[in-house]
């Protein structure tokens, strides 16, 4: 094993995107070093395992799963990744004992919606049917292709009927999309809007193209058997097997450049490592403001980075190890079979008002929770006779979060108990936005997608139009994290794209 | 699912060591691990606040002693060891301390302050050690890293004969073999405080000094010589990661979340494994000519083999394999500041020590606590080990913060604490660990004034937690089964389980890398021994790179291992 310091490519940050970039480049034959600040790789693919419990503290279910090119390209199944697809995806129990059930099967979902509104049930099926070709022909493949400027993209959409429909809803907000398909019932609308809202998407912003993704990919979401970290360890092992070197527990504090050309990186302890290409998967402020000096960054780029917006809505997570389990009081037993259970909201107005209160920091405690229990589907997540549970709330960041973590956690438990019983809690952890920020330092202000999903920072503009296709104005420097197209969450996207671009640059493409 | 040359059941560090050696020797090896990650007993987790890393099991790492360090180039795969120059210490209630240093003169001076006579004895021990250095190193290496033999036992006895004679004692090497650790210490040293020192150190080895036949081991500890006392940059799990990287880089395959439910046996020979219904590939069968079990004895024989294979006689005998040695309640702390021991006034060297023990002023007190722990009673007097990992590796906490991993010896099935009757194994569900944590808080406050105000968070781990973390570690036993005389040395795990070797089981094709000599620890000795016997049998032992000797790497490299990185300047010499 060499401990030398010259590589073809250096990747900064071993979260899912960094791991992917590194693994693809190494597989193509490049000599790659992957640097990680923490003692553990995986970033948001984190599973803490102790006392027999496995807690997914960040990513819990994945929306793209086997749709990621990496699934086949790196043969992740042969490296031990198995996805579990629960049939019942989301349950919305209401105070009167009734509930809405969304499943993988749109017919089943429509039947559930029909108990509240037959018209909305028909609308769901119609919308679902229209969304499928939008996803298959455009949205899914585009996730794994470099982005085009908006006008070019829209004109491409205009070339087909499906594309034209997609273009139409792209300019709408999620609220307008729901209006467009004619949904009326306040409970149904609330549920439909929940799917983007839990990820911090602002429902009145013109991000309609995200809606088909957040609804339909949610209906195809999956848990990694054994915990989210099994996905990052598989990519890690692919990388090591291809000869890659993982250098964890070492923070990169400088990207080295000379005459506007990348040279390598320097670590906190002063050691230097050299490479022809460097991919940074950190956020734009870290890459261009902390790791590079003012002189090294072109003025226009620096200005762009100055306008980078963090996310307004972060997450608070309450994690429990339970001896026994949770029993919901809802009449429909399918609530207890759901991948996620949403509690606290009865109508669309409730949800919109709640989100306003979150943004204005005027909520008193948790009002809306989405609950996941991976152990219901995966017996390896807890000891026999036990379950794990995560209850998550959309919350605003503030630096004093920790002081109220415990009381907020207690209030989450109270809210859960309004909808059912919770047996003996033997382990408990709270993860506030401050914990997110301190643990995964790319997630400034708890921005788990590295930055706001606003029209000025999405698509071709993510992170900005000077770095829109991973290449930056600095020769040999590439970006590749959640702050690059296609964005955050476990998509297997930006890291994959960065590897493509860097591989071409190095003269040895990663996909033949 | 492809077949392998070798299947390893269980990805603990000894199993991984065997896996690395064999994969590197050109065999195809598959490791099947029930947990999500390998290395259950060498884990590092952020139990609470980000940046505070707790080594939940192994803290004091000794891979530096292992041939594996060089043979497998673990440093090249990211194992960066860290230490302090003062390697062990004992704090006493009167505000004094005794320290053991990499520099023998510091150790000597520390001992002399308590007892000139004991210092003189120590000097004599060192004299003998220096004069017989090569012999001592070789014997120790053989004791840890090779199969116990009568010849070796005689050689040890002869060495100790010479040592004890040199000390002017009327006991000989054979007597030492039959003594308990405590009896040896009482024969060698005379002052209460210095006697307590090897008593405390003995607890760290997992071989409880109360047992007979532990005499020679404890005699070695009495010499207070330089030894490898390390943590790793990033925490204990760096050892797991370096082994995994070495293994995978050589083409090895690891399957996690793959508990094994059966070892397949055909015509009396082990031919493969069957995965549990909970595994990634439920019920799948994978074949290999060589199977290695890194699970402990009882799960291997009772569950994976079963009565149909081993017969009723063996089923009965393994039932009595003992896991009930004293266990630990671990108490982990994140601190705002580095602890300043009250005994720093007496000897500031304590502030350069990251591993120690406190709560006792005499061997007698330790013996009482151990006897209680061995008989189901929670020790009346709170005493235990502490490690301030961040003095050696500041990276295990955010800047300025510190981590302490401490522990108290307890019976795994507590039946009494003082006057209070307890519920045995089920007591762990009733908050006993938290109560013991409170006792530890108080002991720390006594020894480190201002300690409680410095606590950011505290976590505990008890034996039930440990067993839930790793069901193969019955009762949370850390070393693969009690190190009592009938399960030690040439007996381990039980007479007749291993034939013609320390790892070859009586089932052809099945080897053991756990519950065998010497015992589970981070010197990777069991894994090394198993690898050697398998490679011999498969004809691939002769590898140019497989030539390192025990302690070689440590002696060659001890000078360049970073020391005292987390020690504040005012305490540095």
Contact flag B46-A439 (C-beta cutoff 8 Å): yes
What is the share, in percent, of chain A residues with pLDDT greater than 90?
Answer: 97
Residue-wise pLDDT tens digits, B125-144: 999 999 999 999 999 999 99
B380 CB within 8 Å of a chain A CB: no
Over range A299-328, report the average pLDDT.
Answer: 97
Average pLDDT over chain A reads 96
DSSP string, B334-381: EESS----GGGTT-GGGGGB-EEEES-SSHHHHHHHHHHHHTTB--SS
- Cβ-Cβ contacts under 8 Å for B120 (sequence gap 6 or more): none
Contact flag B49-A435 (C-beta cutoff 8 Å): yes
**Most B CBs within 10 Å, among A232, A249, A439, A448, to test the B interface:** A249
> CB of B95 within 8 A of CB of B346?
yes
Residue B275 burial class via C-beta count within 10 angstroms: exposed 0-12, middle 13-18, buried 19 and up: buried
Scanning every residue of chain A, which has its alpha carbon at the shortest distance from the alpha carbon of B30?
A79
Contact flag A249-B254 (C-beta cutoff 8 Å): no
> CB of B246 within 8 A of CB of B24?
yes
DSSP structural state of residue B498: B
B319 CB within 8 Å of a chain A CB: no
CA distance A70 to A236: 12
pLDDT of A492 reads 96
**Most B CBs within 10 Å, among A80, A251, A268, A435, to test the B interface:** A80
Scanning every residue of chain B, which has its alpha carbon at the shortest distance from the alpha carbon of A239?
B249
In degrees rounded to 5, what are phi and psi of residue B432?
-60, -40
Over range B433-444, report the average pLDDT.
Answer: 98
What is the share, in percent, of chain A residues with pLDDT greater than 70?
Answer: 99
pLDDT of A481 reads 94
Helix (H) / strand (E) element for B476: namely none
**Cβ under 8 Å to A: B residues 129-158:** none
Helix (H) / strand (E) element for A285: namely helix A284-285
Nearest beta carbon to residue A48 from set B45, B233, B241: B45
Q: Where are the beta strands (DSSP E) in B222-367?
A: 231-232, 253-255, 260-266, 269-275, 285-293, 327-335, 355-358
Contact flag B257-A225 (C-beta cutoff 8 Å): yes
At A2, the pLDDT band (50, 70, 90 cuts) reads low
Domain residue extents for chain A: 3-46+73-81+227-309+451-506, 115-218
Of B89, B369, B65, the residue nearest B208 (C-alpha): B369
Scanning every residue of chain B, which has its alpha carbon at the shortest distance from the alpha carbon of A230?
B36
pLDDT of A355 reads 98
A226 CB within 8 Å of a chain B CB: yes
Nearest beta carbon to residue A230 from set B80, B251, B256: B256
pLDDT of A37 reads 97
Q: Where are the beta strands (DSSP E) in A330-419?
A: 340-343, 369-372, 386-396
Which residues does chain A have within 8 Å of residue B50's beta carbon, measured at their own beta carbons?
Answer: 435, 438-439
Topology adopted by domain A3-46+73-81+227-309+451-506: FAD/NAD(P)-binding domain (3.50.50)
Q: What is the ipTM of this complex?
A: 0.95
Residue-wise pLDDT tens digits, B464-475: 999 999 999 999
Which residues does chain B have within 8 Å of residue A439's beta carbon, measured at their own beta carbons?
Answer: 46, 50-51
Of A483, A412, A395, A493, the residue nearest A446 (C-alpha): A395
A429 CB within 8 Å of a chain B CB: yes
How close A241 gets to chain B, by Cα (Å)? Answer: 5
Angle between helical axes of B363-374 and B181-188 (0-180°, round to 10): 170
- What burial letters (b/e) apply to B105-132, b meaning 16+ CB within 10 Å? ebbbebbbebbeebbebbebbbebbeeb
Scanning every residue of chain A, which has its alpha carbon at the shortest distance from the alpha carbon of B472?
A52
The dotted CATH code for B60-103+324-476 is: 3.90.660
At A3, the pLDDT band (50, 70, 90 cuts) reads low
**Most A CBs within 10 Å, among B245, B392, B464, to test the A interface:** B245
Q: Where are the beta strands (DSSP E) in A398-493?
A: 420-431, 477-479
A465 CB within 8 Å of a chain B CB: no
CA distance A41 to A446: 19
Scanning every residue of chain B, which has its alpha carbon at the shortest distance from the alpha carbon of A385?
B468
Residue A364 has pLDDT above 80, yes or no: yes
A31 CB within 8 Å of a chain B CB: no
Scanning every residue of chain A, which has its alpha carbon at the shortest distance from the alpha carbon of B36?
A226
Average pLDDT over chain B reads 96
B548 CB within 8 Å of a chain A CB: no
Residue B27 has pLDDT above 80, yes or no: yes
A243 CB within 8 Å of a chain B CB: yes
| Domain B4-41+236-322+477-541 belongs in CATH node 3.50.50.60 | yes
> CB of B230 within 8 A of CB of B61?
yes
CA distance B486 to B317: 13
Residue-wise pLDDT tens digits, B183-206: 999 999 999 999 999 999 988 887
At A166, the pLDDT band (50, 70, 90 cuts) reads very high
Cβ–Cβ pairs < 8 A, chains A and B: 110
CA distance A394 to A416: 15
B53 CB within 8 Å of a chain A CB: yes
Task: Please tell me if the domain spanning B4-41+236-322+477-541 has the same topology as the one spanning B60-103+324-476.
Answer: no
Residue-wise pLDDT tens digits, A100-158: 999 999 999 999 999 999 999 999 999 999 999 999 999 999 999 999 998 899 899 99
CA distance A326 to A398: 31
A49 CB within 8 Å of a chain B CB: yes
Residues in a beta bridge with B410: B327
How close B531 gets to chain A, by Cα (Å)? Answer: 21
CA distance B197 to B218: 11
A47 CB within 8 Å of a chain B CB: yes
3 state DSSP class of B98: strand
**Cβ under 8 Å to A: B residues 386-405:** 395-396, 398
B456 CB within 8 Å of a chain A CB: no
Of A179, A139, A194, the residue nearest A162 (C-alpha): A139
Scanning every residue of chain B, which has its alpha carbon at the shortest distance from the alpha carbon of A439?
B50
Contact flag B254-A225 (C-beta cutoff 8 Å): no
Scanning every residue of chain B, which has its alpha carbon at the shortest distance from the alpha carbon of A249?
B234
Contact flag A80-B254 (C-beta cutoff 8 Å): yes
Domain residue extents for chain B: 4-41+236-322+477-541, 60-103+324-476, 115-225
Helices (H), B375-431: 389-392
Scanning every residue of chain B, which has its alpha carbon at the shortest distance from the alpha carbon of A433?
B50
Residue-wise pLDDT tens digits, B511-525: 999 999 999 899 999
Output the pTM of the full model: 0.97
Residue-wise pLDDT tens digits, A186-223: 999 999 999 999 999 999 999 999 999 999 999 999 99
A348 CB within 8 Å of a chain B CB: no
Over range B385-391, report the average pLDDT.
Answer: 98
- Which residue shows structure tokens 């009927």? A161
* CA distances for A166 relative to A9, A65, A127, B321, angstroms: 38, 23, 12, 68
A433 CB within 8 Å of a chain B CB: no
């Amino acid at each position: 094993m060499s401990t030398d310091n010259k590589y073809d490519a250096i990747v900064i940050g071993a979260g899912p995107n960094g791991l992917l970039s590194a693994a693809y480049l190494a597989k193509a034959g490049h000599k790659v070093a992957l640097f990680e600040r923490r003692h553990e790789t995986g970033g948001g693919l984190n599973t803490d395992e102790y006392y027999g419990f496995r807690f997914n503290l960040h990513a819990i279910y994945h929306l793209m799963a086997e749709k990621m090119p990496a699934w086949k390209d790196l043969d992740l199944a042969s490296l031990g990744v198995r996805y579990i697809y629960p049939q019942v995806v989301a349950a919305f129990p209401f105070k009167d004992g009734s509930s809405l059930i969304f499943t993988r099967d749109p017919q089943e979902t429509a039947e559930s919606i029909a108990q509240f509104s037959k018209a909305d049930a028909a609308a769901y099926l119609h919308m679902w049917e229209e969304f499928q070709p939008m996803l298959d022909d455009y949205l899914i493949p585009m996730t794994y292709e470099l982005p085009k400027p908006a006008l070019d993209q829209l004109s491409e959409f205009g070339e087909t009927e499906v594309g034209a429909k997609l273009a139409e809803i792209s300019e709408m907000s999620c609220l307008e999309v729901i209006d467009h398909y004619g949904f009326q019932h306040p409970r149904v609308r609330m549920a439909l809007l929940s799917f983007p809202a839990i990820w911090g998407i602002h429902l009145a912003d013109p991000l309609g193209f995200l809606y088909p993704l957040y609804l339909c990919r949610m209906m195809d979401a999956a848990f990694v058997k054994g915990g989210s970290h099994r996905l990052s360890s598989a990519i890690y092992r692919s990388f090591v097997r291809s000869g890659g070197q993982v250098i964890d527990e070492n923070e990169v504090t400088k990207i080295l450049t000379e005459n506007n050309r990348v040279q390598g990186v320097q670590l906190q302890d002063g050691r230097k490592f050299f490479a022809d290409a460097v991919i940074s998967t950190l956020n734009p402020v870290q890459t261009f403001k902390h790791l590079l000096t003012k002189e090294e960054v072109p003025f226009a780029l620096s200005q762009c980075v100055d306008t980078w917006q963090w996310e307004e809505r972060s997450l608070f997570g309450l994690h429990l190890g339970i001896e026994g389990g949770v029993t919901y009081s809802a009449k429909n037993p399918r609530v207890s079979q759901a991948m996620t259970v949403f509690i606290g909201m009865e109508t669309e107005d409730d949800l919109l008002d709640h989100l306003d209160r979150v943004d204005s920091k005027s909520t008193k405690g948790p009002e809306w929770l989405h609950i996941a229990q991976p152990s219901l589907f995966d017996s390896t997540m807890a000891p026999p006779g036990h379950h794990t549970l995560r209850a998550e709330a959309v919350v605003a960041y503030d630096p004093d979060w920790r002081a109220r973590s415990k009381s907020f956690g207690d209030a989450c438990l109270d809210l859960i108990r309004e909808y059912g019983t919770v047996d003996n809690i033997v382990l408990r952890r709270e993860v506030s936005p401050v914990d997110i920020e301190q643990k995964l330092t790319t997630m400034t202000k708890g921005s788990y997608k590295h930055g706001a999903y606003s029209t000025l920072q999405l698509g071709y503009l993510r992170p900005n139009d000077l770095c829109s296709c991973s290449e930056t104005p600095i020769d040999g420097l590439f970006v590749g994290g959640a702050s690059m197209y296609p964005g955050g969450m476990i998509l297997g996207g930006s890291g994959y794209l960065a590897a493509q671009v860097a591989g071409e640059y190095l003269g040895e493409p990663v996909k033949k | 699912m492809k077949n392998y040359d070798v299947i390893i059941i269980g990805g603990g560090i000894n199993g991984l060591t065997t896996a690395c050696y064999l994969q590197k020797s050109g065999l195809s090896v598959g490791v099947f691990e029930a947990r999500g990650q390998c290395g259950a007993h060498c884990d590092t987790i952020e139990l609470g606040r980000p940046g505070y890393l707790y080594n939940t099991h192994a803290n004091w790492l000794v891979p530096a002693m292992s041939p594996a360090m060089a043979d497998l180039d673990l440093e090249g795969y990211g194992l960066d060891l860290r230490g302090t120059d003062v390697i062990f210490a004992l704090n006493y209630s009167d505000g004094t301390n005794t320290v053991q240093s990499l520099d023998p003169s510091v150790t000597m001076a520390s001992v002399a302050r308590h007892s000139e006579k004991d210092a003189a004895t120590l000097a004599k021990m060192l004299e003998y050690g220096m004069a017989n250095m090569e012999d001592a190193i070789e014997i120790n290496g053989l004791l840890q890293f090779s199969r116990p033999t009568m010849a070796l036992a005689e050689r040890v006895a002869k060495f100790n004969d010479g040592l004890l004679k040199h000390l002017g004692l009327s006991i000989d090497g054979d007597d030492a073999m039959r003594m308990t650790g405590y009896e040896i210490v009482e024969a060698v040293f005379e002052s209460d405080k210095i006697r307590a020192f090897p008593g405390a150190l003995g607890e760290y080895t997992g071989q409880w000094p109360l047992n007979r036949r532990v005499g020679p081991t404890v005699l070695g500890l009495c010499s207070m010589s330089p030894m490898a006392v390390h943590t790793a940059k990033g925490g204990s799990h760096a050892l797991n990661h370096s082994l995994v990287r070495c293994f995978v880089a050589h083409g090895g395959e690891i399957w996690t979340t793959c508990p094994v439910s059966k070892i397949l046996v055909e015509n009396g020979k082990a031919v493969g494994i069957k995965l549990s219904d909970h595994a990634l590939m439920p019920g799948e069968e994978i074949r290999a000519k060589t199977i290695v079990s890194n699970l402990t004895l009882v799960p291997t024989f009772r569950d994976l083999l079963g009565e149909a294979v081993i017969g009723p006689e063996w089923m009965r005998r393994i039932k009595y394999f003992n896991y009930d040695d004293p266990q630990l309640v671990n108490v982990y702390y994140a601190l705002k500041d580095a602890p300043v021991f009250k005994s720093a006034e007496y000897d500031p060297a304590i502030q350069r020590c990251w591993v120690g023990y406190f709560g006792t002023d005499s061997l007698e007190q330790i013996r009482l606590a151990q006897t209680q722990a061995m008989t189901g009673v929670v020790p009346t007097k709170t005493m235990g080990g502490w490690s301030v990992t961040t003095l050696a590796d500041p990276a295990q906490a955010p800047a300025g913060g510190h981590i302490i991993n401490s522990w108290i010896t307890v019976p795994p099935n507590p039946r009494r604490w003082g006057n209070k009757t307890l519920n045995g194994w089920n007591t762990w569900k009733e908050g006993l660990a938290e109560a013991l944590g409170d006792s530890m808080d108080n002991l720390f406050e006594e020894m480190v004034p201002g300690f409680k105000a410095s606590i950011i968070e505290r976590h505990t781990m008890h034996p039930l937690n440990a067993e839930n973390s790793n069901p193969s570690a019955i009762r949370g036993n850390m070393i693969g089964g009690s190190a009592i005389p009938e399960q030690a040395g040439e007996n381990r795990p039980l007479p007749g389980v291993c034939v013609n070797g320390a790892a070859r089981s009586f089932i052809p094709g099945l080897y053991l890398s756990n519950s065998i000599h010497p015992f589970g620890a981070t010197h990777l000795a069991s894994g090394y021994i198993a690898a050697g016997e398998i490679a011999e049998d498969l004809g691939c032992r002769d590898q140019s790179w497989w030539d390192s000797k025990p302690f070689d790497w440590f002696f060659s490299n001890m000078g360049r291992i970073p020391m005292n990185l987390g020690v504040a300047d005012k305490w540095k010499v």
